[in-house]
A and B are shown apart, each in its own frame.
Chain A
Protein backbone atom coordinates (compact mmCIF):
# COMPACT_ATOMS: atom_id res chain seq x y z
CA UNK A 1 0.00 0.00 0.00
CA UNK A 2 1.07 3.55 -0.61
CA UNK A 3 2.40 5.61 2.25
CA UNK A 4 4.17 8.88 2.87
CA UNK A 5 6.70 9.47 5.64
CA UNK A 6 7.80 12.75 7.10
CA UNK A 7 10.44 12.05 9.68
CA UNK A 8 10.86 15.60 10.97
CA UNK A 9 7.87 16.21 13.20
CA UNK A 10 8.97 19.54 14.60
CA UNK A 11 11.66 21.86 13.23
CA UNK A 12 12.82 25.07 14.84
CA UNK A 13 14.91 27.53 12.84
CA UNK A 14 16.06 31.09 13.10
CA UNK A 15 15.19 33.57 10.38
CA UNK A 16 17.49 33.40 7.35
CA UNK A 17 18.41 29.79 8.05
CA UNK A 18 18.04 27.28 5.24
CA UNK A 19 15.25 24.73 5.34
CA UNK A 20 14.97 21.18 4.15
CA UNK A 21 12.00 19.02 5.12
CA UNK A 22 12.16 15.36 4.28
CA UNK A 23 9.46 13.40 2.52
CA UNK A 24 9.74 9.77 1.48
CA UNK A 25 7.09 7.60 -0.05
CA UNK A 26 6.52 3.96 -0.76
CA UNK A 27 4.97 3.05 -4.07
CA UNK A 28 6.44 1.27 -7.04
CA UNK A 29 4.54 3.03 -9.81
CA UNK A 30 4.14 6.53 -11.15
CA UNK A 31 3.25 9.12 -8.55
CA UNK A 32 2.11 12.70 -8.35
CA UNK A 33 3.65 14.52 -5.42
CA UNK A 34 2.51 17.55 -3.47
CA UNK A 35 3.50 19.78 -0.61
CA UNK A 36 0.71 21.50 1.27
CA UNK A 37 1.07 24.15 3.94
CA UNK A 38 -1.22 25.13 6.77
CA UNK A 39 -0.50 28.53 8.26
CA UNK A 40 -1.91 29.17 11.75
CA UNK A 41 -5.65 29.70 11.51
CA UNK A 42 -5.76 29.24 7.74
CA UNK A 43 -6.90 26.62 5.24
CA UNK A 44 -4.57 23.94 4.02
CA UNK A 45 -3.19 25.21 0.72
CA UNK A 46 -1.00 23.89 -2.05
CA UNK A 47 2.65 24.94 -1.97
CA UNK A 48 3.88 23.05 -5.02
CA UNK A 49 3.30 19.90 -7.03
CA UNK A 50 5.15 17.49 -9.28
CA UNK A 51 3.54 15.41 -12.02
CA UNK A 52 6.27 14.87 -14.59
CA UNK A 53 9.19 16.57 -16.31
CA UNK A 54 11.80 18.60 -14.48
CA UNK A 55 12.26 16.94 -11.08
CA UNK A 56 13.02 20.30 -9.50
CA UNK A 57 9.77 22.15 -9.00
CA UNK A 58 9.29 25.64 -7.73
CA UNK A 59 6.32 26.76 -5.70
CA UNK A 60 5.02 29.83 -4.03
CA UNK A 61 6.93 31.98 -1.55
CA UNK A 62 10.37 30.81 -2.67
CA UNK A 63 9.87 27.12 -1.88
CA UNK A 64 11.12 24.35 -4.11
CA UNK A 65 11.19 20.58 -4.00
CA UNK A 66 13.20 17.95 -5.77
CA UNK A 67 11.83 14.59 -6.85
CA UNK A 68 14.50 11.89 -6.64
CA UNK A 69 12.91 8.75 -7.99
CA UNK A 70 15.75 6.44 -6.97
CA UNK A 71 15.38 7.57 -3.37
CA UNK A 72 11.57 7.77 -3.39
CA UNK A 73 11.95 11.25 -2.00
CA UNK A 74 10.42 14.67 -2.52
CA UNK A 75 12.15 16.99 -0.08
CA UNK A 76 11.05 20.58 0.39
CA UNK A 77 13.65 23.35 0.50
CA UNK A 78 13.92 27.05 1.01
CA UNK A 79 17.27 28.86 1.10
CA UNK A 80 16.29 31.46 3.68
CA UNK A 81 13.21 31.14 5.90
CA UNK A 82 11.17 33.97 7.31
CA UNK A 83 9.10 34.21 10.45
CA UNK A 84 6.01 34.11 8.23
CA UNK A 85 6.96 30.58 7.13
CA UNK A 86 5.92 29.29 10.54
CA UNK A 87 3.33 26.67 9.66
CA UNK A 88 2.69 22.96 9.35
CA UNK A 89 3.84 21.32 6.13
CA UNK A 90 2.37 18.17 4.65
CA UNK A 91 3.73 16.00 1.89
CA UNK A 92 1.21 14.01 -0.16
CA UNK A 93 1.04 11.69 -3.11
CA UNK A 94 -1.50 10.36 -5.54
CA UNK A 95 -1.07 7.68 -8.17
CA UNK A 96 -2.11 7.34 -11.77
CA UNK A 97 -3.99 4.18 -10.89
CA UNK A 98 -6.14 5.95 -8.32
CA UNK A 99 -5.72 9.68 -8.72
CA UNK A 100 -8.71 10.42 -6.51
CA UNK A 101 -6.89 9.31 -3.41
CA UNK A 102 -4.32 11.52 -1.79
CA UNK A 103 -2.05 9.98 0.82
CA UNK A 104 -0.68 12.47 3.31
CA UNK A 105 2.31 12.34 5.59
CA UNK A 106 2.01 13.10 9.29
CA UNK A 107 3.18 16.68 8.82
CA UNK A 108 6.10 18.78 10.00
CA UNK A 109 5.60 21.77 12.24
CA UNK A 110 8.04 24.53 11.40
CA UNK A 111 8.69 27.23 13.94
CA UNK A 112 10.80 30.16 12.70
CA UNK A 113 12.19 32.34 15.45
CA UNK A 114 12.46 36.06 14.61
Chain B
Protein backbone atom coordinates (compact mmCIF):
# COMPACT_ATOMS: atom_id res chain seq x y z
CA UNK B 1 0.00 0.00 0.00
CA UNK B 2 1.02 3.58 -0.51
CA UNK B 3 2.23 5.84 2.27
CA UNK B 4 3.29 9.45 2.37
CA UNK B 5 5.77 10.88 4.80
CA UNK B 6 6.52 14.45 5.75
CA UNK B 7 9.17 15.82 8.04
CA UNK B 8 9.69 17.50 10.28
CA UNK B 9 6.31 17.46 12.00
CA UNK B 10 6.90 20.83 13.63
CA UNK B 11 9.48 23.51 13.02
CA UNK B 12 10.24 26.86 14.61
CA UNK B 13 12.53 29.06 12.57
CA UNK B 14 13.66 32.68 12.88
CA UNK B 15 12.86 35.24 10.22
CA UNK B 16 15.50 35.25 7.52
CA UNK B 17 16.56 31.65 8.01
CA UNK B 18 16.33 29.03 5.25
CA UNK B 19 13.70 26.33 5.05
CA UNK B 20 13.59 22.80 3.73
CA UNK B 21 10.55 20.57 4.14
CA UNK B 22 10.61 17.09 2.70
CA UNK B 23 7.90 14.80 1.45
CA UNK B 24 8.32 11.24 0.21
CA UNK B 25 5.83 8.74 -1.13
CA UNK B 26 6.16 4.97 -1.01
CA UNK B 27 4.37 2.25 -2.88
CA UNK B 28 3.66 4.04 -6.14
CA UNK B 29 5.55 5.20 -9.21
CA UNK B 30 5.46 8.50 -11.05
CA UNK B 31 2.88 10.11 -8.79
CA UNK B 32 1.70 13.68 -9.10
CA UNK B 33 2.92 15.59 -6.05
CA UNK B 34 1.49 18.69 -4.42
CA UNK B 35 2.36 21.22 -1.72
CA UNK B 36 -0.45 23.05 0.05
CA UNK B 37 -0.54 25.60 2.82
CA UNK B 38 -3.40 25.47 5.26
CA UNK B 39 -4.16 28.69 7.10
CA UNK B 40 -6.79 28.90 9.81
CA UNK B 41 -10.14 29.83 8.30
CA UNK B 42 -8.77 29.94 4.80
CA UNK B 43 -8.73 26.33 3.72
CA UNK B 44 -5.98 24.79 1.64
CA UNK B 45 -4.06 26.86 -0.85
CA UNK B 46 -2.23 25.00 -3.58
CA UNK B 47 1.37 26.21 -3.71
CA UNK B 48 3.10 23.87 -6.16
CA UNK B 49 2.45 20.70 -8.05
CA UNK B 50 4.64 18.37 -10.04
CA UNK B 51 3.82 15.79 -12.68
CA UNK B 52 7.38 14.46 -12.98
CA UNK B 53 11.01 14.80 -11.94
CA UNK B 54 12.18 18.37 -12.37
CA UNK B 55 8.72 19.56 -13.46
CA UNK B 56 7.27 22.13 -11.07
CA UNK B 57 4.23 24.33 -11.50
CA UNK B 58 3.89 27.28 -9.18
CA UNK B 59 0.45 28.48 -8.32
CA UNK B 60 1.09 31.67 -6.39
CA UNK B 61 4.03 34.10 -6.35
CA UNK B 62 5.69 33.89 -2.99
CA UNK B 63 8.82 33.43 -1.00
CA UNK B 64 8.87 29.66 -1.47
CA UNK B 65 10.15 27.26 -4.09
CA UNK B 66 9.76 23.54 -4.73
CA UNK B 67 11.92 20.86 -6.24
CA UNK B 68 11.48 17.23 -7.21
CA UNK B 69 14.92 15.63 -7.33
CA UNK B 70 13.57 12.08 -7.39
CA UNK B 71 10.37 10.44 -8.58
CA UNK B 72 8.83 10.17 -5.12
CA UNK B 73 10.48 13.07 -3.35
CA UNK B 74 9.14 16.60 -3.17
CA UNK B 75 10.91 19.41 -1.33
CA UNK B 76 9.61 22.79 -0.28
CA UNK B 77 12.26 25.44 0.30
CA UNK B 78 12.90 29.03 1.10
CA UNK B 79 16.14 31.00 1.18
CA UNK B 80 14.87 33.51 3.72
CA UNK B 81 11.73 32.94 5.73
CA UNK B 82 9.19 35.69 6.37
CA UNK B 83 6.76 35.90 9.26
CA UNK B 84 3.95 35.37 6.76
CA UNK B 85 5.36 31.95 5.85
CA UNK B 86 4.07 30.54 9.15
CA UNK B 87 1.41 27.92 8.64
CA UNK B 88 0.60 24.29 8.22
CA UNK B 89 2.14 22.73 5.13
CA UNK B 90 0.64 19.65 3.58
CA UNK B 91 2.08 17.39 0.94
CA UNK B 92 -0.21 15.26 -1.18
CA UNK B 93 0.06 12.78 -4.02
CA UNK B 94 -2.26 11.39 -6.67
CA UNK B 95 -2.08 8.83 -9.42
CA UNK B 96 -0.72 10.37 -12.58
CA UNK B 97 -3.02 8.54 -14.95
CA UNK B 98 -6.27 9.71 -13.42
CA UNK B 99 -6.54 12.19 -10.58
CA UNK B 100 -9.51 10.69 -8.83
CA UNK B 101 -8.26 11.50 -5.39
CA UNK B 102 -5.43 13.21 -3.61
CA UNK B 103 -3.83 11.55 -0.59
CA UNK B 104 -2.45 13.80 2.09
CA UNK B 105 0.49 13.55 4.42
CA UNK B 106 0.48 14.41 8.13
CA UNK B 107 1.69 17.97 7.56
CA UNK B 108 4.38 20.24 9.00
CA UNK B 109 3.54 23.04 11.40
CA UNK B 110 5.93 25.90 10.65
CA UNK B 111 6.25 28.85 13.00
CA UNK B 112 8.45 31.73 11.93
CA UNK B 113 9.51 33.91 14.85
Contacts and interface: CB of A to CB of B under 8 A. Distances in A.
A104 B43 contact: yes
B61 interface: no
B90 A44 contact: yes
* Overall SS of chain A's interface: strand
A111 interface: no
Given A94-B99, A100-B49, A107 B104 contact: no
B105 interface: yes
Contact of B46 (A44, A45, A101, A105): A101
B99 A90 contact: no
A43 B104 contact: yes
A94 B34 CA distance: 14
A43 B105 contact: yes
B: contact size bracket: 20 to 34
Interface in B75-113: 90, 92, 94, 98-102, 104-107
Nearest to B94: A100
B92 to A, nearest CB: 8
B56 interface: no
Nearest to B41: A106
B44 interface: yes
Interface string A67-101: 00000000000000000000000101010000111
Nearest to A42: B106
B104 A44 contact: yes
Interface of B: 32, 34, 36, 41-46, 49, 51, 57, 59, 90, 92, 94, 98-102, 104-107
7 contacts: A43-B105, A43-B106, A43-B107, A100-B32, A100-B49, A104-B43, A104-B44
